[in-house]
Amino acid sequence: MRLLMTLACSVVVVLLVLLWEHPKGTALAALGTPGMLLGAWAWALWWRDRAAEVHLREMTEQHRRRDVTTGMWNHYALHELLEQKLSQAAELECPLSIIRIDLDRFALFNATYGHAAGDDLLRQVGRTIQTLLPPEVTAGRYDSDEFLIILPGTARGQAMTIARHLREKIRQTTLAQSANGQAIPITASVGVACFPTDATSAQALLSAAEDAISVARQNGSGVADTRSSWRTRYRIRVDGAFPTLEAMVIAIDNKDHYTRRHSEEVTEYAQWIAEELGLSDEEKHILRLAGLVHDVGKIGVPDEVLLKPDMLTADEYEAMKQHAVLGAVMLAALPGMEPVVPVVRSHHERWDGKGYPDGLAGEEIPLLARLLAVADAFSAMTADRPYRKGMDWHSALAELQRQKQKQFDPLMVDAFMAAVNKRRYTQQRGEEELLAAA
């Protein structure tokens, strides 16, 4: 209707202009000045409405592509953008990586603390991701509890580094508060997939990253790509015993997810110390096995003790201490595991002789068990548990220093400190390069 009115007024304006140009029409044209003003007003209204309509369409399209909760790109937009980026990567013959971040136990968090708290957590995670990534990187909420990051021109190694950095920052910064004000640790499982080595289509690449999330969750590492597996990562060479060994690790993981993740961390830290001390490849191999299975005896610890969120009673602590002996007995029955048995049995002995199960002291304790004790303690101190947040690295390292010549062999503590300092320098350099590239 407004358009028809505008056209009618425009006709009047044209006629008035023609009359103005006619020698005898000046007077009539003067009388039609209000009509000219009316036409101009009608045209202004039409152009304003047209601009508003275009703006509304643009806003509607933006809304359709944005997640309501976080304001980030939504599933639809991310899939469309991934298709575009993959086409560009194929044309330019350059790599592209994606990172899928899945928040652990998010459904349980929602059920326990409510959807409002869940939405707050999602927004917090979204802000963490956006803060750490350059503006040109595409990131968004891909699913109810999942985020997706698209990294054009990024190869596997750099993508894994970014993924680990993101997961650690999420662990550090996304601490929701329970009703009583207690901080609730939030963790994520992260999968990485790369074009063109893992897949060449968007859907296949997304599926590969989803499979990597499953591996990250199953092996407790938290971050995995399509090449990650428990056996290949730690170069296990006990072929005859491996199926039984893997079954043991899976069994304890099903009983207590923390133990599996903790065991992988212990293995990693033990390798740092071994490298610092210049141990042989065979000793490193024994440590890999011992680190992964050192807590396998917890299979025999009652659930009410193993999973208890509060301080253990004296009797419960005695039951927990039996896991070292039970684990050694179980491993002794497997071929090729003989060198691992004393490491597992003695990894809770103390330098001052006050440990368990045998009360060994000083160099009576097997060397690799003394080494594993430091890695085990550091992982335990820095890990988040359902009932408390882990220590920061600085505090945990200070505690290791305080326990030198008491709980720990001083040589092992010093070697671990040196290894951590080296890796801190390397990580700092890597973060500086990442920021410079951004």
Summarize pLDDT for 104-153 with one digit per residue, the tens: 878 777 777 777 888 888 999 999 999 888 877 899 999 888 999 999 99
Q: Does residue 435 belong to any structural domain of this protein? A: no
Task: Quote the crossing angle between the two packed helices 75-92 and 33-65, to the nearest 10°.
Answer: 80
Q: Which of 356, 241, 256 is nearest to 296 (CA)?
A: 256
Q: Which of 368, 318, 313 is nearest to 344 (CA)?
A: 368
Q: What is the CA radius of gyration of the chain?
A: 32
Strands 146-152 and 138-143: antiparallel
Q: Does residue 57 belong to any structural domain of this protein? A: yes
Count the domains in the chain: 3
What is the per-residue pLDDT for 375? Answer: 95
Q: Are residues 47 and 79 in the same domain?
A: no
**Secondary element (H or E) of residue 284:** helix 281-293
Q: Are residues 286 and 331 in the same domain?
A: yes
Helix (H, G, I), strand (E, B) or coil at 317: helix
Determine the Cα–Cα distance for residues 44 and 5; give it in Å rounded to an integer.
Answer: 12
Residue ranges of alpha helices (H) inside 356-402 are: 367-382, 393-402
Determine the Cα–Cα distance for residues 434 and 438; give it in Å rounded to an integer.
Answer: 6
Q: Are residues 224 and 143 in the same domain?
A: yes
CA angle 432, 436, 438 (to 5 degrees): 120
Q: Are residues 203 and 113 in the same domain?
A: yes
| 149 φ/ψ sector (left φ>0, alpha ψ -120 to 50, else beta) | beta
Q: Are residues 412 and 292 in the same domain?
A: yes
Q: Does residue 70 belong to any structural domain of this protein? A: no
What is the per-residue pLDDT for 39? Answer: 52
Q: Does residue 436 belong to any structural domain of this protein? A: no
Q: What is the pTM of this model?
A: 0.49
For the domain that residue 153 is a member of, what is the CATH number?
3.30.70.270
| 359 φ/ψ sector (left φ>0, alpha ψ -120 to 50, else beta) | left
Q: Tokens at residue 95, please? A: 């790599």
Q: Are residues 422 and 274 in the same domain?
A: yes
Q: Does residue 239 belong to any structural domain of this protein? A: yes
**Residue numbers of the domain that contains 79:** 75-228
**Secondary element (H or E) of residue 111:** helix 106-113
What is the per-residue pLDDT for 430? Answer: 44
Q: Are residues 299 and 386 in the same domain?
A: yes
Determine the Cα–Cα distance for residues 11 and 401; give it in Å rounded to an integer.
Answer: 92
Q: Does residue 438 belong to any structural domain of this protein? A: no
Q: Which of 403, 410, 428, 427 is nearest to 277 (CA)?
A: 410
What is the per-residue pLDDT for 8? Answer: 55
Query: What count of Cα atoms within 13 Å lies in the side-chain half-sphere of residue 105?
Result: 10
Determine the Cα–Cα distance for residues 264 and 216; give it in Å rounded to an integer.
Answer: 11
> Residue 395's Cα: distance from chain center in Å?
23
Q: Helix count (H) and strand count (E) of the chain? A: 18, 7
Determine the Cα–Cα distance for residues 104 and 109; give it in Å rounded to an integer.
Answer: 9
What is the per-residue pLDDT for 355? Answer: 95
Report whether 302 contacts 319 (CB < 8 A): yes
Helix (H, G, I), strand (E, B) or coil at 138: strand
Residue in the block written with tokens 């951590």? 420
Last residue of a domain, one of 184, 210, 228: 228
Report whether 190 contacts 101 (CB < 8 A): yes
Determine the Cα–Cα distance for residues 308 and 303; give it in Å rounded to an integer.
Answer: 8
What is the per-residue pLDDT for 416? Answer: 96
Determine the Cα–Cα distance for residues 341 and 45; give it in Å rounded to an integer.
Answer: 86
Q: Tokens at residue 96, please? A: 């592209």
What is the per-residue pLDDT for 126? Answer: 93
Q: Are residues 410 and 270 in the same domain?
A: yes
φ, ψ for residue 174 (rounded to 5)?
Answer: -95, 75
| 177 φ/ψ sector (left φ>0, alpha ψ -120 to 50, else beta) | beta
Q: Are residues 284 and 363 in the same domain?
A: yes
Provide the b/e sequence for 35-65 (b: ≥16 CB within 10 Å): bbebbeebeeebeeeeeeeeeeeeeeeeeeb
Q: Does residue 325 belong to any structural domain of this protein? A: yes
Query: Which residue ranges in the chain fall short of pLDDT 70?
Result: 1-63, 174-184, 218-220, 227-247, 249-250, 253-258, 260, 309, 385-388, 424-438
Q: Are residues 169 and 247 in the same domain?
A: no
- DSSP character at residue 312: P
Q: Are residues 177 and 34 in the same domain?
A: no
Q: Does residue 434 belong to any structural domain of this protein? A: no
Report whether 343 contacts 366 (CB < 8 A): yes
For the domain that residue 393 is a member of, what is the CATH number?
1.10.3210.10
Three-class DSSP labels, 181-194? CCEECCCEEEEEEE
pLDDT in tens, 397-437: 999 999 999 999 999 999 999 999 887 654 444 444 444 44
Q: Are residues 91 and 185 in the same domain?
A: yes
Last residue of a domain, one of 44, 65, 86: 65
Q: Which of 399, 421, 422, 400 is nearest to 411 (CA)?
A: 400
Last residue of a domain, one of 212, 228, 244: 228
Q: Report CA dihedral (271, 274, 276, 278) to the nearest 10 degrees.
A: -140
